[in-house]
Amino acid sequence: MVVGGTEYAWCFGHRHDRVRGYPGCSSTLTLWRAGDRACLRLVFRPSSDRAIADGYFDEGAVVRLADRAYLNLHEPGTVRALLDEALVRGLLPRAGAVEADEWPLFDVVRPPGPCDSP
Res 9: pLDDT: 96
**Spatial separation of the C-alpha atoms in residues 13 and 15, rounded to whole Å:** 7
Res 23: pLDDT: 61
Res 32: pLDDT: 97
Side chain identity at residue 11, one-letter code: C
pTM, 2 dp: 0.84
Res 118: pLDDT: 46
Regions in the chain scoring below 50 on pLDDT: 116-118
| CA atoms 107, 1, 14, 78: torsion sign | positive
Res 21: pLDDT: 56
Res 112: pLDDT: 77
Res 20: pLDDT: 56
Nearest to 40 by CA among 14, 16, 10: 10
Res 41: pLDDT: 95
